[in-house]
């Protein structure tokens, strides 16, 4: 009977560890897999919520016979990709505000509590490299449309990043107008490391 198993008491897999539930959240013995991508989540144990920072290895482990069927070592101080905030939007004149802009993963940006009064009729979402006044590319709205933005009243939007972009080099996101220029923008950290798209792991 095999399980996803992790631990930190020994440098390599041993019986001194804990079960990580499978992709369905179950701790039953593993069934067959063939070239399957999956997302498994660390459990909450008696010691609290577990994470990559708590373990030295992750194994496919047979508890009955104490045999490792394959494992990966987790380096000390490993940096785990995580969603990254660029901060808030504020045009300064009340036209556009958002409490936070988050690069959720390599394909997704979340704009939290967006308020846009529609006073700039040709405004669109944009992303780009370098300073926010450099040439960028359009980000479709929450419906996937590239039409100019309408009014928003404290709405949280999930936007899909265009395939032409490389999120590793995205440095700003903003609301831009061909006639008025950049209305408001945020900058992301240069060392940003975000997770891969979750749908690619399923």
How far apart are the C-alpha atoms of 202 and 197, rounded to whole Å? 10
Q: Is the pLDDT of residue 201 over 70?
A: no
Distance between CA 22 and CA 19 in Å, rounded?
A: 9
168, pLDDT greater than 60: no
What does the alpha-carbon distance between residue 140 and residue 101 come to, in Å, rounded to a whole number? 15
- Give the pLDDT score at 164: 66
- Does residue 52 or residue 149 have the better pLDDT? 149
Q: Inform me whether the pLDDT recorded for 50 exceeds 70.
A: yes
By CB neighbour count within 10 A (0-12 exposed, 13-18 middle, 19+ buried), where does 176 fall? Answer: buried
Does the structure show a pLDDT above 90 at 199?
no
The answer on pLDDT for 141 being more than 70 is yes
Burial of 151 (0-12, 13-18, 19+ CB in 10 A): exposed
pLDDT digits (tens, 9 = 90+) for 69-87: 999 999 888 888 889 999 9
For residue 116, CA distances in Å to 18, 52, 90 come to: 49, 40, 10
For the chain, the average pLDDT equals: 90
- Split at pLDDT 50, 70, 90, the class of 28 is very high
With residues binned 3-state (H G I as helix, E B as strand, rest as coil), the percentages for the chain, rounded to 5, are 5, 40, 55
Q: Check residue 167 and give its pLDDT.
A: 52
Query: What is the predicted pLDDT for the residue at 165?
Result: 55
CA atoms of 158 and 172, how far apart (whole Å):
16
Whether pLDDT at 26 is above 60: yes
What pTM, to 2 d.p., does this model score? 0.75
Q: Tell me if 124 sits within 8 A of 176, measured CB to CB.
A: yes
């Amino acid at each position: 009977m095999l399980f996803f198993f992790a631990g930190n008491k020994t440098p390599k897999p041993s019986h001194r560890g804990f079960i990580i539930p499978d992709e369905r959240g179950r701790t039953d013995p593993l069934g067959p897999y063939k070239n399957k991508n999956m997302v498994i989540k660390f459990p909450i144990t008696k010691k609290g919520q577990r994470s990559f920072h708590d373990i030295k290895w992750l194994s496919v482990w047979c508890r009955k016979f104490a045999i490792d069927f394959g494992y990966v070592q987790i380096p000390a101080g490993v940096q785990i990709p995580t969603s990254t905030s660029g901060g808030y939007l504020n045009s300064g004149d009340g036209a556009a505000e958002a409490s936070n802009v988050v690069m959720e993963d390599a394909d997704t940006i979340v704009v939290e509590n967006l308020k846009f009064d529609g006073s700039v009729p040709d405004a669109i979402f944009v992303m780009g490299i370098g300073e926010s006044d450099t040439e960028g590319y359009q980000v479709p709205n929450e419906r996937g449309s590239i039409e100019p933005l309408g009014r928003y009243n404290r709405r949280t939007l999930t936007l899909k990043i265009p395939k032409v972009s490389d999120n590793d080099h995205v440095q700003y996101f903003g609301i831009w107008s061909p006639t008025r220029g950049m209305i408001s923008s945020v900058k992301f950290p240069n060392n940003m490391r975000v997770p891969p798209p979750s749908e690619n792991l399923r």
